[in-house]
Chains A and B, each alone.
Chain A
Amino acid sequence: MSDLVIQIRDLRRSYDMGSETVHALRGVDLEIRRNEYVAIMGPSGSGKSTLMNLIGCLDTPNGGEYWLNGQEVSRMSDDALARVRNKEIGFVFQTFNLLPRASALQNVELPLVYAGVSSRERRAMAADALGRVGLADRKDHKPNELSGGQRQRVAIARALVNRPSILLADEPTGNLDSVTSEEIMRVFGALHAQGQTVIMVTHEAEIAAHAARVVLLRDGGVESDTRRAQGAAA
């Protein structure tokens, strides 16, 4: 059982929109094992953003349970969730979400700042993470001095630097052209091959095809959960 990174049971999330209540998730069950490569798909309104926010500990559910790496995070306080985000989750966003005034290295250091790592150690760890995504020579560049693909790789380095349990990517290629998208997907593939658990939210079937498992959401529930044969991912 310790192999399970994510264990979700009957997860529910609804929003009060004035007089109406919108049920974004109506009871989702999902289990993800270590070193899985999962794509979460679904049309808009299917609840995939809500699920991603919950998995990313940015939001808390109204009902059900969410266990991340053996801890029940569905009942945690804000500050405890912040710590979980810091230690367990590496975010990669569609819009990169880098701090524009900080250098690539400083951006990658950011999660370590909140983890309380000393500045010398931080620099070393951040430089190492940048090396893993092939940007060792772009440390001191500001985001606006980097191409889209390079920016997303900085964001991936930032997501990796704390050695998180899951790499959580939200439409990671949404702002990139097809060549660069392939380049980013190769980075994800390599990280997966090194043992990283990767969860990716996307609406592009082409991108989802890189994953070994595709979870399709519809109307706030899981419609299908398909696994490809082992070894076909590469």
Chain B
Amino acid sequence: MPLFEAVRMAIGMLRAQKLKSFFSLIGVLIGVTFLIAVVSIVQGMNVYMEDEFANRLVGLNTFQLRRFPGINTGNVSDETWRDWMRRPRITYAEADYLEARVRTPAVFSRYCSERLPVSRNGKTAKDIEVMGADATYFGMKSYDIAAGRPFSPQEARVGSAVVVIGDLLAEKLFPGADPVGKDLMIGGLPYRVIGVVAKQGTLFTISMDKFVVTPFDAPVRRQICLWNTMDELHIQAANPAVMLTVMDEVESIMRVRRQLKPTQENNFALQTAEGALAGWRKISTILFAALPGLVAISLVVGGIVIMNIMLMAVSERTREIGIRKALGARRRDIMAQFVVEAATLSTIGAIFGIGLGIGLAYTVKALTPFPAAVAPWSVGVAVGLGVAVGMAAGIYPASRASKLDPIVALRSE
């Protein structure tokens, strides 16, 4: 009997027993829903972490030279921490030394930051990220200037009292007004607003628009940096491959500059988006490792349910089997009929599961900042699993059906 015929027959049978069929495919449905939803959500979070988190936080093709890693995953032991605190800070002299010696084209920006209150006309915004940086910083972060302009290299060099502010801060201190050209106060000194950065939205529900960028040498530096040092030196390369070369250069130049012996470890850290992602990678690896187990459990349960339903179907339809055998069905025809029926049942369960899983993924997408990315392979795997579980669950009942004696089967009620 051709497969198409068998599938059509199976669907007819399932339609005749809608409720029973629905309950029997619930196990597979849940397993597949879970598979699709988890894969979609985790992959969506991957995309989010890589595109949004890492690049926004660290910058595209950018790495940072720091005293010690700023983004840590897992616990840092006290000993390591004490070791980090003993390290020298990054100095101006080192930054100049590097800028003079790195041969590969790269862009540099000193960077310091601190959370400070910012006020205007008695209105105060607390906990504003006040950042001191060079003019190149705007390019590194790919800031989109919504109004005004970024500060110029000249302004940066002389440490002009100018600021570029985030969208949310602009709204808070200058509600309904254009902030460009107006003054605000940081640490008791006035700064002129020369630009506003377009809204960046939130990262893990934390607003990315509550900040101020001043020239690194602006007066506020005394509040955000120790004398002659910086929190980070940001270095941007042209592309990811070049970035690795620049990192190598920076590392070796720093080791020479700090006169480290070959046996000594670096007493500085190079932080990349990759590094920041390591922790997330660990989490998603664990999720992906646990996933097959969870899916397997629900599929095994689903398979057992289907097997029971099929055994019931075989005993209910004994007479039908007898008729088919009397009319010339061979063992393998009966076998195929019930295996295909079980596989069809389970595949329909898988298809509903895929729909539900995608729905769940898009619900998560609607409710959280994570984009849902439904992986095509997971849909393929789900369909494959549906067919396989159904076939496996159908084999035993089908073989019982195929072995029925036609005379006995015809006599059954």
Q: Do A and B come from one complex?
A: yes
Q: Is the interface of B mostly helix, strand, loop or mixed?
A: helix
- CB of B255 closer than 8 Å to a CB of A: no
Chain A residues near B330 (CB-CB < 8 A): 78-79, 82-83, 114
Restricting to A93-131, which residues have a CB under 8 Å from any CB of B? 93, 97-99, 101, 110-111, 113-116, 119
- CB of B16 closer than 8 Å to a CB of A: yes
- CB of B323 closer than 8 Å to a CB of A: yes
> Are B326 and A91 neighbours in the complex by a CB distance under 8 Å?
yes
- CB of B12 closer than 8 Å to a CB of A: yes
Q: How far is the CA of A116 from the CA of B2 in the complex (A)?
A: 8
Chain A residues near B325 (CB-CB < 8 A): 58, 82, 85
From A99, A101, A114, B328 is in contact (CB under 8 Å) with A114
Q: How far is the CA of A113 from the CA of B331 in the complex (A)?
A: 14
Number of interface residues of B (CB under 8 A): 22
> Are B328 and A85 neighbours in the complex by a CB distance under 8 Å?
yes
Closest Cβ–Cβ distance, residue A81 to chain B (whole Å): 9
> Are B331 and A79 neighbours in the complex by a CB distance under 8 Å?
yes
- CB of B324 closer than 8 Å to a CB of A: yes
> Are B329 and A82 neighbours in the complex by a CB distance under 8 Å?
yes
Nearest opposing residue in chain A for B409, CB measure: A58
Chain A residues near B5 (CB-CB < 8 A): 113, 119
> Are B327 and A91 neighbours in the complex by a CB distance under 8 Å?
yes
Q: Is the interface of A mostly helix, strand, loop or mixed?
A: helix
- CB of A86 closer than 8 Å to a CB of B: yes
Chain A residues near B16 (CB-CB < 8 A): 101
- CB of A175 closer than 8 Å to a CB of B: no
User: Contacts A53-B407, A113-B5: A99 and B323 contacting too (C-beta < 8 A)?
Assistant: yes
- CB of A56 closer than 8 Å to a CB of B: yes
Closest Cβ–Cβ distance, residue A45 to chain B (whole Å): 16
Q: How far is the CA of A59 from the CA of B322 in the complex (A)?
A: 13
- CB of A158 closer than 8 Å to a CB of B: yes
Closest Cβ–Cβ distance, residue B338 to chain A (whole Å): 15
Chain B residues near A119 (CB-CB < 8 A): 5
Restricting to B77-133, which residues have a CB under 8 Å from any CB of A? none
Q: How far is the CA of A97 from the CA of B412 in the complex (A)?
A: 11
Encode contact with A along B324-354: 1 for CB under 8 Å, 0 otherwise.
1111111111000000000000000000000
> Are B407 and A115 neighbours in the complex by a CB distance under 8 Å?
no
> Are B410 and A93 neighbours in the complex by a CB distance under 8 Å?
yes
Restricting to A141-163, which residues have a CB under 8 Å from any CB of B? 158, 162
Closest Cβ–Cβ distance, residue A138 to chain B (whole Å): 19
- CB of A192 closer than 8 Å to a CB of B: no
Q: How far is the CA of A140 from the CA of B325 in the complex (A)?
A: 24
Q: How far is the CA of A97 from the CA of B319 in the complex (A)?
A: 8
Taking Cβ atoms with an 8 Å cutoff, the residues of B that contact A are: 1, 5, 12-13, 16, 319-320, 322-333, 406-407, 410
Top 7 A-B pairs, shortest CB-CB distance: A86-B328, A114-B328, A82-B330, A79-B330, A111-B327, A97-B323, A85-B328
Enumerate 26 A-B pairs (CB-CB under 8 Å) in ascending A order. A53-B407, A58-B326, A58-B407, A79-B330, A79-B332, A83-B330, A85-B325, A85-B327, A85-B328, A86-B327, A93-B410, A97-B319, A97-B410, A99-B320, A101-B12, A101-B13, A110-B323, A110-B327, A111-B327, A113-B1, A114-B1, A114-B327, A114-B328, A114-B329, A114-B333, A119-B5
